[in-house]
Amino acid sequence: MENSLHWQLDVSFREDERRIRQGYGAENFSRLCRMALNMPKNEKSQKTGIAIKRQNYGWDNDYILKVLLA
């Protein structure tokens, strides 16, 4: 049974296709992905989807700083 958070992680980060199996790697990477998914949700200056916001991170250094420091 999956909720919308798991669906977003599967679609955005391909969580089901990961091959991290040793130690705490899978848990740590999952936490990083959840943080990366929550940051654009909390940033309200752009009224676009999460996929577009994530794309803007790679293109605009000022925007990623704004999101990280918010």
User: Average pLDDT for residues 37-59, to the nearest whole number?
Assistant: 81
Residue 55: is its pLDDT beyond 80? yes
User: Average pLDDT for residues 42-57, to the nearest whole number?
Assistant: 81
CA distance linking residue 39 with residue 59, whole number of Å: 17
Record the pTM: 0.65
CA distance linking residue 56 with residue 59, whole number of Å: 5
Residue 66: is its pLDDT beyond 80? yes
Q: Give the chain's length.
A: 70
Q: What is the pLDDT of residue 2?
A: 60
Phi-psi region of 48 (alpha: psi -120 to 50; beta: other; left: phi over 0): beta
Structural tokens at position 14: 């391909």
**Number of helices (H) and strands (E), helices first, in the chain?**
4, 0
